[in-house]
Structure 1
Amino acid sequence: MTNVSGLAYLPDNGRSVQKQRSEAVLRSLCNFTKIIQMKIGLIVNPIAGLGGKTGLKGTDGEKAIAEALRLGGTKESAKRAEQALRPLKFLTDKFSTITCTGEMGEYVCKNLGLTPTIISVSTTNTTKSDTKNAVTKMVEQKVSLILFAGGDGTACDILESLDGNTPILGIPTGVKMHSALFGTSPSSVGVLVSQIVKDGYDSFPIRAAEVMDLDENLRKHELIQTKLVGYVNIPDNQLLTQNPKNHAIPTDDQSIEGLSQFFKKNLRQDAIYIVGPGKTTYTILKKIGITGTLLGVDVIKGKTLISHDVNEHQLEALPTNSPIYIISGIIGGQGFLFGRGNQQITPKIIRRVSKKNILVIATPAKIHSLQEQSLLVDTGDKKLDHELAGYIKVRTNKHNTHVMRIKAA
């Protein structure tokens, strides 16, 4: 049956085929744009970063964990995970959480008022096997994103059990964080994940990111070299995620020689210098006759080594009757000044030294490797991070400095 316009009508309800088709298209569009409740996986490595302030460069293995605790190390990962997830507590109608028992995520969720689905793991001494098993179960439950609080070691464990598609994002918590899959800070992770959840889609733009780790064989020979372990997918936001640490930056011998000459001439005999880790500082100390620590923090007075490979408690016990300076390099490719590999230099110590007594050094190659030409700080104290923000001189040679901006990560 047709009308004068030629449109067909169905005799049962009087609606034209054209109208029914329009309604079908509209229903399809509504189905496409409807809000989907995301599934977010959360894994907290409870011992990640435990060795940072105690000067152990990491906590891989039971002996390292025991030693970190003996030295007074405190667990930091849960606090930083809570900081990252705090913005999500106001969006609970838009996502659900899957996490692990106890310290591996359950306690963090409950502190924030979240009601997660729980994956059972060891409730005493958690291991990398617990992490791998948790990842496998989260992938089976088709989570949209796996958040983890840890460092490069945790990232490598996750990579081993991850399928090729599930995106992950690291809450920076460990000592070693050379990989590109971490947010620049816990707050940045919170901002990024909140944006994804608010958009209401089960999928979001992603990009490939490098998983890096230190080459332990070379480290035994006092050489720093990171190696590429693999690639993972992460949310695509280069402003809120960090770059990988450059692992093939050419050494600028002329710059380091000039820096060595500068410190030979200008180190005050009555002053104490806290010297941060890294190849640049290690080489400079060596050139002025001091055998320092490649991956640790040393203390010198004038040109004399007074403490080797120190922890936070040793730094806090430094005498108060001498001026104190911090000599710190930067991480090539990332730009971190504090919060990566030098957690022994705590907010308390930085405040005691003050920004005006922080001596930043870098070769031109490291400065040129920074995508945004700025330095980042992630001390764990947001107020201090903002106090440090602004501009600082970075010495690149005996006579040359480069003014750079510091930003809170």
Structure 2
Amino acid sequence: MKRIGLIVNPYAGLGGRAGFKGSDDVSIQERALEMGVVPEAPYRALLCLRELERDADDIEILCGAGEMGEDTVRQTVLPYRVEAKAVEGRTTAADTKEAARELLEKGADLLLFAGGDGTARDIMDAVETKIPVIGIPAGVKIHSAVYAMNPQSAGKAAHSFVKETGVTVAEAEVMDIDEELFRQGQVEARLYGYLMVPQIKAYMQGMKAGGYSEAAGLAGIAMEIVSTMENDVCYVIGPGTTTRGIMEAMGLENTLLGVDVVCNKEQIGKDLNEQQLVELLNGRLFRIIVTIIGGQGHVFGRGNQQLSPRILQMAGRDGITIVATRTKLIGLGGRPMTVDTGDPETDQMLSGYYRVVTGYQDYIPYKIVL
């Protein structure tokens, strides 16, 4: 019987829907909860564990107490043992580290953890490269190469690791950025170290690639989008340097790492969170303009959680325009685009081919695959 450790950072990702661009700070968590943001990490961990239920007779889950894992695994048919002590009050980074050490000592063969880049750093501090790990993406910042493409992929990767022979492990980068600078529109990524990750490329994401600076391509994308904008239609402009050019082409101030809204080429919303977007867009015609994350191919669910399943369902699949330079698409190495919204039904709605805008009157058909 294989033993899989499970740690859930229950407050990971709270800042995404609220537009806070991170959740590491306790004060940010409190503000998000006061706004009514519902923690998603436990549900994402559950989606992962569902992929393991078919092997319930051969797998045992070693988990953290209460909301750090126990509450989630109890919703499955998987056998489990609570092997990390209970925590009083809201969990902290220190609690994550302590739980990881305890599960390592109890003999876990693989460690699953739900969180973001801050959680990955905590896991790295605790276990270093002593045990293979798989990250269940649940945070706002997910630049590290230790995470699966989505929660279901995390479960499938774990299944492959414990059930198949010949699966190798190798070091993968743990990256993180300065959240305060991130909120000011500056991305300062840093390599913190490495964790051991199963080499199953079909399920694991790569490290986020650096920015692309194809001036002509970016200018062409901006020209194409601005020239085709319709009157009285709102345009929701997602984060990124590719979409920044669209705002600059209209002479409007851009929130590099946030979500802005334009109507009749005037800015009517700046750096909006999910609830503000719902209130502004309700009853209006609108389109969403987004780009992909270089090197990973994510369209939704990485750094733009303000564009929630609720917003995406309001827009519909036909209300989404994806923009990316040709070099950015080539950089995916033939891998498809993907999404990880936290809602399987919305992910399914978004799948299929899109006419990706790659320049002025220039398009490439490219597919979103789950």
The equivalent residue for 1:232 is: 195
The equivalent residue for 1:54 is: 18
Contact 2:83 2:102 in 1 (8 A): no
The equivalent residue for 1:292 is: 254
2:71 matched to 1:107? yes
2:350 matched to 1:402? no
TM-score (norm 2): 0.94
1:192 and 1:240 map into 2 onto residues whose CA distance is 6
Give the drift of 1:321. 4.8
- 3-state SS of paired residue (2:5): strand
The equivalent residue for 1:30 is: none
Contact 2:83 2:106 in 1 (8 A): no
The equivalent residue for 1:41 is: 5
Counterpart residue identity of residue 28, structure 2? A
Match of 1:242 among 205, 208, 226: 205
Give the drift of 1:103. 0.5
Q: Indicate how the Cα distance of structure 1 residues 82 and 322 shifts in structure 2: closer, same or farther if over 3 A, else same.
A: closer
2:118 matched to 1:156? no
What percent of counterpart residues are identical? 37
Give the drift of 1:140. 2.1
The equivalent residue for 2:137 is: 172
The equivalent residue for 2:354 is: 392
Match of 1:341 among 297, 303, 311: 303
The equivalent residue for 1:354 is: 316
Root-mean-square deviation over aligned CA pairs: 1.9
Counterpart residue identity of residue 94, structure 2? S
Q: Indicate how the Cα distance of structure 1 residues 134 and 48 shifts in structure 2: closer, same or farther if over 3 A, else same.
A: same
Count of residue correspondences: 369
Residue by residue over 1:277-331, the C-alpha shift from the partner in whole angstroms, topping out at 9 and shown as x without a partner, is 1122123312321112121111111211111111221222234553210000110
Residue by residue over 1:106-159, the C-alpha shift from the partner in whole angstroms, topping out at 9 and shown as x without a partner, is 111212143323311423110000011111222222321110000111001111
1:81 and 1:39 map into 2 onto residues whose CA distance is 16
1:225 and 1:303 map into 2 onto residues whose CA distance is 31
Give the drift of 1:89. 2.9
1:68 and 1:181 map into 2 onto residues whose CA distance is 26
The equivalent residue for 1:78 is: 42
2:111 and 2:289 map into 1 onto residues whose CA distance is 37
Q: Bigger CA drift: 285-294 or 68-77?
A: 285-294
2:334 matched to 1:372? yes
Give the drift of 1:256. 1.5
1:304 and 1:235 map into 2 onto residues whose CA distance is 48
- 3-state SS of paired residue (1:193): helix
2:229 matched to 1:264? no
Contact 1:91 1:197 in 2 (8 A): no
- 3-state SS of paired residue (2:52): helix
Counterpart residue identity of residue 84, structure 2? I
Contact 1:312 1:346 in 2 (8 A): yes
For structure 1, which runs of at least 5 residues remain unmatched after alignment? 1-36
2:196 matched to 1:196? no
- 3-state SS of paired residue (2:14): coil
TM-score (norm 1): 0.85
2:59 matched to 1:95? yes
2:153 and 2:347 map into 1 onto residues whose CA distance is 13
2:31 and 2:223 map into 1 onto residues whose CA distance is 38
Match of 1:208 among 171, 174, 195: 171
Give the drift of 1:267. 2.1
Give the drift of 1:220. 6.0
The equivalent residue for 1:183 is: 148
2:51 and 2:231 map into 1 onto residues whose CA distance is 49
Q: Bigger CA drift: 140-149 or 318-327?
A: 318-327
Contact 1:152 1:212 in 2 (8 A): yes
- 3-state SS of paired residue (1:292): coil
Q: Indicate how the Cα distance of structure 1 residues 180 and 319 shifts in structure 2: closer, same or farther if over 3 A, else same.
A: closer
The equivalent residue for 1:147 is: 112
Contact 1:109 1:116 in 2 (8 A): no
- 3-state SS of paired residue (1:96): strand
The equivalent residue for 1:274 is: 236
Counterpart residue identity of residue 319, structure 2? N
For structure 2, which runs of at least 5 residues remain unmatched after alignment? none
Contact 2:21 2:179 in 1 (8 A): no
Contact 1:151 1:175 in 2 (8 A): yes
Q: Indicate how the Cα distance of structure 1 residues 111 and 399 shifts in structure 2: closer, same or farther if over 3 A, else same.
A: same
Q: Indicate how the Cα distance of structure 1 residues 361 and 105 shifts in structure 2: closer, same or farther if over 3 A, else same.
A: same
2:135 and 2:328 map into 1 onto residues whose CA distance is 24
Counterpart residue identity of residue 344, structure 1? Q
1:325 and 1:339 map into 2 onto residues whose CA distance is 18
2:320 and 2:271 map into 1 onto residues whose CA distance is 19
Q: Which has the larger radius of gyration?
A: 1
- 3-state SS of paired residue (2:277): helix
Counterpart residue identity of residue 234, structure 1? V
